[in-house]
Structure formats: structure tokens, C-alpha cells
Amino acid sequence: MDSVTSLIELTATGAAERVRAREIEPAELFDVYRSRAAGDDLNAFTWVADGPPTPGPAPDAPLGGVPLAVKDLFCTEGVPSQAGSRILEGYRPPYTATVVANLMRAGAPLLGKTNQDEFAMGSSNENSAFGPVLNPWDRSRVPGGSSGGSAAAVAAGLAPWAIGTDTGGSIRQPAALCGIVGLKPTYGACSRYGMIAFASSLDQAGPLTRDVTDAALLLRHMVGRDRLDSTSIEFPGEIELPHAEDLAGIRLGVPEELAGDGIDPGVLESFKATLKLAEGLGARIESCRLPHAAHALSAYYLIAPAEASANLARFDGVRYGLRVDADELTEMYSRTRAAGFGAEVKRRIMLGTYALSSGYYDAYYGTAQKVRTKIADDFADAFATFDFIVTPTSPWTAFKLGSKVADPYAMYLNDICTVPMPLAGLPAISIPSGLSAGLPVGFQLAGPAFSESRMLSSAYALERAIGFDGSPARR
Amino acid sequence: MNYEPVIGLEIHLQLSTRTKMFCGCELSFGDPPNVHTCPVCLGLPGALPVLNARAVDYGLLIGLALGCEIAERSLFHRKNYFYPDLPKGYQISQFDVPLCRGGRLGDFRIHRVHLEEDAAKLVHVGESGRIHGSDRSVVDFNRGGTPLVEIVTEPDFRSPEQAHEWLSLLRTTLKQLGVSDAKMEEGSLRCDANVSVRPAGTSALGTKTELKNMNSFRFVERGIRAEIERQVGLLEAGDVVKQETLHFDPASAKVTSLRSKEEAHDYRYFPEPDLLPLVIDAEMLDAVRAQLPELPAARAARFERELGLSAERARELAFRAELGDYFELVLAANGGNRGDAVRVANWIPQLVERIGSDADPAQSKVAPEALAALVAMVGAKEVGREAARDVLTRLVAEGGDPRAIVQAEELGAMGTDDGGVIELIDRAIAADPRAADQVRAGNVKAIGPLVGYVMRESKGRADGGEVGKLIRARLLDQS
């Protein structure tokens, strides 16, 4: 390989194969991406590595030395890990998150840390203390969130691949809005150790990649039981690299609740076209019901803030991060948290604190947990009939920066199609299904727990049929 | 009006596991500050708790020892509040589904037993060592995350003395289980008391107050007594008791308010999403049950039933494990002769009197074999009871073999056929003719001073019983 252009045109899996075949030097690959990341004008990165790690990855490492962009909220030893928040400005943790350590060991060196909504709370990346990320398809638009930096970096070819976290859609929605692949694994498949927590019972790490094969390869080296995370579990079998040519015998359920009202017509058109392609590949498509899906957003916006209100209590100015001094302890807490947290984080801490308060717990948090069980039951019923549930990933394509900032509820509606799956702990993937008015649209498949390999396989067949080739990185 | 106190206790016990409740940091006492820390116990962003299996075993041991019902499935919750000794901003504790419910120790019922983590230690820099008046406070996270068991009793105590005595039994039980040092002065056992009073003979409970963190059993007793007096005083003056949390100051013997009910926290408990429900299966429970040692109450019953000790003596030895252990060692050194058990048991308080009431006899200079030999010599009348007490005093001071001491000091018993005893009796009668006359007149009790004289002069070597017989024979024959 001799030109930068051809290097960045390679998928991550392709690049890893060339490295293992000794056709590319890993240091050369790292340098190309390092200089692209350093020249980032999308505000996708909050930190970029000075150079490749020494010693470099073994020449036959499975991830081939292909550099990795990592969402800011993953702790990386000695490297700023700020979760998009002023309260952690300059914070360099003394340890590395398990998932990042797993990937580094498998041969993916750390390229940089990516911008995000503060503590993963947001769907537009406008809630970052380090400024919004721009969508590489249209710089006046948002990249989605909260893993907006990771999605924009991969879409713009500033990074070969990236990892993010998904709590209510934070991998899938920005992947959709940036025209890339994003996968949220089954809850417990990837260790949460070292991920700065938003909502512990929902958070899950996953890949953001140019294509389905890259997602499978990266995920293969992310999953696994971690003795430091009690909620992690050994993944049954290895994540397989996808190779399905068709969807013969695959039954797809289209939930009425998530694929009709409230979805932008252009998005719906792309969704329906993709269903046609699936049918052509041999899939059986039927409409189905998720009767409690309509309440998923309400349950989510009680459970996630409740957990967040406790998870964010540790940012008190005593041990690390920002401290705004005062003469008295409570005042120091107040000033530090007032100055350190952004408006959306404060809103959710207030919501969560209220939902857990004595006398309100049963009505809010308790009821939300019951709804959560109902939603999981809905999916279990649906998966008795269907292999996968399919929906548009996001009701809209990328929207204008600032257009929803003043209306939190409109912003929350972004997550309507992505929130039910994490409430049920289920895996889901978003793949690009085409463009609507020049902007990417995402198509989502959700499957039963630990169905990742099958799900990737079906997504791969669809990806080939769709033939989406619009990444601005390759233009 | 007469008032009846109603007292319940809450005991926090640090478990003596090797590592902390939710991380691999070692437990320590007295090490330099902040050397036993990690991302988990410092509450660093991204760190997650992992439950210590040994702490669960210890919790189960305590639950079984206290006769609790063990929950097959129990939950951990987050208890939310801000304080610098609580790095996560919440304590992981058990709330509405604890590991153990119910149970009984001695005459008092247990309400529940649950697992939680300890806070870090705040050190208040300044003269008083307390937060008031200190210049600043620093945090030592060595203690943060130490496994704790909280034991809550039913409000069954009716006096401060009952509470004190029961706490001693609890401490012995816990030490015997090997689950904790249970040292109040080091903070590994801490006790709060809920106190209320009500007119004697009524059954409705009065308003209770909570006395916090008294750091010795004596202070618990005194604190409760002071609080009962304060509450009775309020009621008698026509006032009411307010629900509040109080601090007992042993120096002034006064209780002061820490916070009122209105200032009480809303802890916003919710299930800890970072931990799975704790499921105890039959296999785990059987394994723990097999580790249960003999507990003080059972030991006391055995001493009484099998060795013929009085109930009081049996409890005296069994409720302090080190006394019971020593007693059994002496008995074994004596060839395990159960017939001697009562006599051996009667010597243990003698030993305790000489080594100090808090000392462990196993740490004294008196080898169990030595005490066994001494008791045997008394039994065989080779040494008098009085002389034997002197020998014990010598053993406590210097150790050694009682036979050698008896021989060297010429403390061997004087036989009745020994001319020396007869001579001493003559001298006793000569020295106290009034007493002799009274005995002759039929007042048997008057013989005491005469026997005492002989015992004193013989340095306890004479046998008091035999001496009495000889004196009676002598004085009554002559009349």
C-alpha cells in the first residue's frame, strides 16, 4: 500500500488482514490515523495519542494494530477520561477499563478519546462540556448522541473504528445519524468495569464501525466475563464473523408501535425499502405487537435518572476532579456540583432524586420497574414467533444543531425506537439503510439475549443487499 | 409514677475477613493512612463492587449462631447521603430483604442481621479530636469498605444492666465464631441503643431516641441509664420526649442532641444495580453449618449437665470463652476426671481474682497442668486450702510447679497426728480462754477464732476441718 487515501479506504478488518499479511506496517497505519485525528475539525476528539504505543502490538495480533477511538467515559490509565463533563476536567484515572484493556491486548492501540454528551446524557452531543460534535455529512447538523464523537470520527474516517456506550440508544442512534454500524450487546456481555456510569442497569459498551464485519471483529474481543463486574457473564461461544448471503427462513417482526406514527416520512420510506430487500433475500416479514413499548420512554426516564442520581453523587469535589472551595462542606459540595455539571445532567439528577424520594418511590421508580418487566415479557412473546424485531433506529435523520436544545421532551423522543431494548437487556444493531434528503438513515434489528452472531449475520446479508457506500470518509 | 424502660440494641460488627467487602484491599488496623485503597474503595469513576464470599459466610455463621431464618435470596441496596467518609455518595447495605431475620440469643430476640460496608475514617485535626472545634478533617480510606454485619435486636431489654450483660454474651459468641475481633475500643464492635420509657404496666411504646456510638459496654450501660433518667425527668415535668439522635459524653455523663427527626435523611434506598441478588443454596448453608463451633449458651448447658457445675458457675465460665477454654485445659491435664470438675471450676475465679478480671488465664504464668496439680493436692489433703491459695498467688507471680513450691516453702499439710497441730491448739486455747469457755458452754460458733489462730500460725498447712474436730473433742471432753 502506498497512498494514504487507499489506507483509509480499508475497513478495519481489511487493514488488520493486511497488517497480518505484512503488507502494512502497524506504525504507518497508526500515523495516518493519528494525523487525521489530530486534524479533526468536527470536535470529535477530546484527546489524541502522541504516537503509537511502545512496544507495538504483536504482528499476528487478531486486531492487527488497527487503532481505536474510545468514548471519553471509558477510563484509560494516565489519559484524560472526563465523560464530557467539566466536573472531571483533566481527570486522569489510575486504571484502564476492562473492555479497553481487552481490545488493546488483542492488538487495537488507543488512538484517542472521543467527545460525548456529558455522562452519556443526550441524543445530539450538544450536552458536552467540550462543545458539540459536528456531523460529517452536514456540519450544521448534530451527529447524534451520546457517542457522537465516536460515530462522527468513524464516519469521517478519522478513526478506523471506535467504541461507545449505549444506555437508551447512545450507540445506535449516532451510528444511524452518521451512516455507520453501531451495536449494543446483550446486557452483561461486556464488562462495565471502568466505564464511568450513567445508568448501571442499562449501560453497555459496544462497537461503532464502518461495516458489520468490523463490528463483529471488534465485539469478539470486547465480550467476556470480568471478575471485576458482577453483572458480566461469559458469552456463550465466540462472536462469529458474518458471511450469510441471504435471509432464508429468517422471520422479521415489525412492531406497529415503533414503525409508524411519529416517524419521519423519509426515514419510513428507507425502512420500507429495506424490508422489501429483506423479503427479496428470503425473509418473512410480519407486523407484530410490543404493547408496552409506548411506555418504554417514560420508564426509561425514571429508571435511568434514578440510577444516575446515585452514580453521580461521588462527584463531590473531595477526592478528584473539579473542586470549588468554600468555607463550609455543604457549600463546597453545592458550588462544585453547580459549576461542574451541565443543565441536562442537573435535570436528570433532580428527576432521579425525586423518583426515589420517600413517599414517591412506589409511584415512580417502583412502577417503572414493573413496566420494564412488562416490556421484557413483550419481547419474549415476540421472539417466540420472530428471529428479530426490526424498526427504524431513529425517528429522524440528523437535525440542525440547536434545534431541539430548548425542548428536552422532543430531544428524548429521539430514543423512542432504541429505549425498549436496553430496558429488556437485549442486543440490537443499527446499519445504514440509505439516505433521505442526503442524510443517512438507520435500520435496527433487535434479537434475543446472546443472539449477536445470528444478528450480525442477518445484518451482513442486508448490508450487502443495501450496498450503502456513502461514508464521507470515502468520498 | 413508675416508668419501665424499653431498650433495643443495634450492633455494628467489623468482620475479620482478609479483604474488604467489595474489593481486594486488605483490612488493617493501625497502618499509615490510605495505603489499603483501590479504585473500588475510593469510589473512583467506573469502579464496581464485587461481593466478598467470605463475608457472606461470616454473615451466615452469625445468622445460624443466633438462630435466625436465613433468606434464600437477599438484596443489596444503595443508601444515599453525602459525607466525606462515603466516597461513592452511597453506602451499599441491605434494606428490606436482609440476609437473616428473627432469632434469639440468651433471653433476647434478634430482629434481623444484615451485611453492609463500613465508611472511611474521618480524623479531626485539632485539640479535641472531635469535629467541633477542629481546624480541619482528613479522611483515611483504609477502613472504607470494611465488611460490616449489623445485628438489630427486638426492644426486649428492660434495664441498662440487661443490655450490658447481653452484649458480653454476644461478644463471646462472635469471638467464638471467629468472625470478628469484636473490640469496642478499636471500633470493630459498635453499639447504638434505642431507648424509650413508658408507665410501668402499660404496653404502648413511648417515643424513642437513638443513642449513638458508645465505645465500651460500660458506657452503653451508663449512656442508657442517663437517657432513661432524662426521659423520665421530662415526662415527670409534664414535657414530652422528642424523637432524635443523641450522643452520650462519658466525661459529663450527659446526652446531647445530634439531629432531630426533622433533620433525618431521606436515604432514597433502591436496589444496587451493580450487584446481583445474593442467593444462598442448601450446599452453602451446610458448609457453613459444619463450621459452627460450640457456642457459649450450649457450652454452659454442657458444663451444667455433664460436669455438674452450678448454672451460675457454668455461665461464668462459658460466657467468657477464654475462661471456659482454660477450664477445659485444666480438666484435661487432670486426666479428664469429670469428678473433679466442680473443684477445678471453683478454682478459676480464684485465678481470675489474681490475674485481673479482663486477663486471659492462658496468657498467665499458671500452666493448666500446674493448676491441675494444685487442685489434686488439695483433693488428696496434701496441702490445705489456705496454703493452696498462697501457692496460687506464687504461681501467678512466678509460674512453676506447685509441688516444688509446697516443698520449698514447707507448706505441706500438717496431719492430725502431727504433734505440731496439738501444740498449736494448746496455744490457741491459752491465748483466748474466753472463746474456749464459750465453746465449753455449748456455743459452737465461738470455735471460729480458735481455728483461725491455728490456721494462721500453721500458715494454712493445717486442715481447718480436722482442727475444729480436735478442739471440740478437747474442750468438750474436759467439761
Residue B55 at interface with chain A, using a CB cutoff of 8 Å: no
The Cα–Cα gap between A58 and A105 comes to: 9
B119: left (phi over 0), alpha (psi -120 to 50) or beta: beta
Does residue A174 share a domain with residue A316? no
The Cα–Cα gap between A174 and A184 comes to: 12
Look at residue A1 and tell me whether its pLDDT is greater than 50.
no
Q: Is residue A189 in a domain?
A: yes
Compute the average pLDDT of residues A11-36. Answer: 94
- Three-state DSSP at A400 gives strand
Q: List the 61-120 stretch of A: residues with Cβ below 8 A of B.
A: 73-75, 81, 83, 88, 91, 93-95, 97
Asked if the Cβ–Cβ distance from B275 to A230 is below 8 Å, we say: yes
Higher pLDDT, B460 or A79: A79
Does residue A179 share a domain with residue A313? no
Give the active site residue among A123, A124, A170, A453: A170
Q: List the 336-375 stretch of A: residues with Cβ below 8 A of B.
A: 353, 356-358, 361, 365
Residue B278 at interface with chain A, using a CB cutoff of 8 Å: no
Q: What is the pLDDT of residue B129?
A: 66
Domain boundaries, chain B: 3-288, 294-408, 419-478
Q: What is the pLDDT of residue B236?
A: 94
Look at residue A319 and tell me whether its pLDDT is greater than 60.
yes
Give the active site residue among A146, A309, A433, A457: A146
Does residue A225 share a domain with residue A91? yes
How many Cβ pairs within 8 Å bridge chains A and B?
104
The Cα–Cα gap between B386 and B374 comes to: 12
The Cα–Cα gap between A258 and A255 comes to: 6
Asked if the Cβ–Cβ distance from A314 to B89 is below 8 Å, we say: yes
The Cα–Cα gap between B329 and B325 comes to: 6
Q: How many domains does chain A have?
A: 2
Which of B48, B96, B134 is the best substitution to test chain A (most A C-beta atoms within 10 A)? B48
Residue A298 at interface with chain B, using a CB cutoff of 8 Å: no
Q: Cell for A6?
A: 487507499
Q: Which of A345, A367, A389 is where one domain is finished?
A: A367
Catalytic site includes residue A170? yes
Q: Among A107-116, A257-266, A295-304, B440-449, which is the least confidently predicted range?
A: B440-449
- Domain covering B419-478 in this structure, CATH number: 1.10.10
Does residue A298 share a domain with residue A237? no
The Cα–Cα gap between B434 and B453 comes to: 14
The Cα–Cα gap between A400 and A392 comes to: 20
* Sequence-separated (6 or more) residues with CB below 8 Å from residue A292: A371, A374, A375, A377, A378
- Three-state DSSP at A211 gives coil
Which of A356, A357, A373 is the best substitution to test chain B (most B C-beta atoms within 10 A)? A356
Q: What is the pLDDT of residue A475?
A: 44
Helices A452-466, A265-280: axis angle to 10 degrees equals 100
Asked if the Cβ–Cβ distance from A320 to B44 is below 8 Å, we say: yes
Q: Which of A367, A385, A413 is where one domain is finished?
A: A367
- Three-state DSSP at A464 gives helix
Q: Which of A367, A388, A409 is where one domain is finished?
A: A367
Q: What is the pLDDT of residue A397?
A: 97
Asked if the Cβ–Cβ distance from B47 to A333 is below 8 Å, we say: no
Does residue A179 share a domain with residue A302? no
- CATH number, residue A210: 3.90.1300.10
CB atoms within 10 A of CB B215: 16
Q: Among A52-56, A200-204, A214-218, B192-196, which is the least confidently predicted range?
A: A52-56
Asked if the Cβ–Cβ distance from B46 to A75 is below 8 Å, we say: yes
Higher pLDDT, A149 or B412: A149
- Over residues A375-434, the pLDDT tens digits come to 999 999 999 999 999 999 999 999 999 999 888 888 888 899 999 999 999 999 999 999
The Cα–Cα gap between A282 and A245 comes to: 10
* Sequence-separated (6 or more) residues with CB below 8 Å from residue A3: none
Q: Sorting pLDDT into bands at 50, 70 and 90, what band is A470?
A: low
Averages of pLDDT over runs of 10 residues in chain B (479 residues) are 95 97 94 97 98 98 97 98 96 97 95 98 79 82 98 98 94 93 91 96 94 89 96 95 92 87 87 98 95 91 93 90 92 80 92 89 93 89 84 92 84 71 86 86 85 84 82 74
Catalytic site includes residue A184? no
The Cα–Cα gap between A263 and A256 comes to: 11
The Cα–Cα gap between A205 and A226 comes to: 13
Q: What is the pLDDT of residue B88?
A: 98
Does residue A168 share a domain with residue A108? yes
A256 DSSP 8-state letter: G
Does residue A135 share a domain with residue A30? yes
Q: Is residue A25 in a domain?
A: yes
- Over residues A153-205, the pLDDT tens digits come to 999 999 999 999 999 999 999 999 999 999 999 999 999 999 999 999 999 99
Does residue A314 share a domain with residue A237? no
Q: What is the pLDDT of residue B126?
A: 75
Domain that holds residue A162: 4-243+451-474
Q: What is the 3-state secondary structure (H, E, C) of chain B?
A: CCEEEEEEEEEEEECCCCECCCCCCECCCCCCCCCCCCCCCCCCCCCCCCCCHHHHHHHHHHHHHCCCEECCEECCEEEECCCCCCCCCEEEECCCCCCEECCEECCEEEEEEEEEECCCEEEEECCCCCCCCCCEEEEECCCCCCEEEEEEECCCECCHHHHHHHHHHHHHHHHHHCCCCCCCCCCCEEEEEEEEEEECCCCCCCCCEEEEEECCHHHHHHHHHHHHHHHHHHHHCCCCCCCEEEEEECCCCEEEEEEEHHHCCCCCCEECCCCCCEECCHHHHHHHHHHCCCCHHHHHHHHHHHHCCCHHHHHHHHCCHHHHHHHHHHHHHCCCCHHHHHHHHHHHHHHHHHHCCCCCHHHCCCCHHHHHHHHHHHHCCCECHHHHHHHHHHHHHHCCCHHHHHHHCCCECECCCCHHHHHHHHHHHHHCHHHHHHHHCCCHHHHHHHHHHHHHHCCCCECHHHHHHHHHHHHHHHC
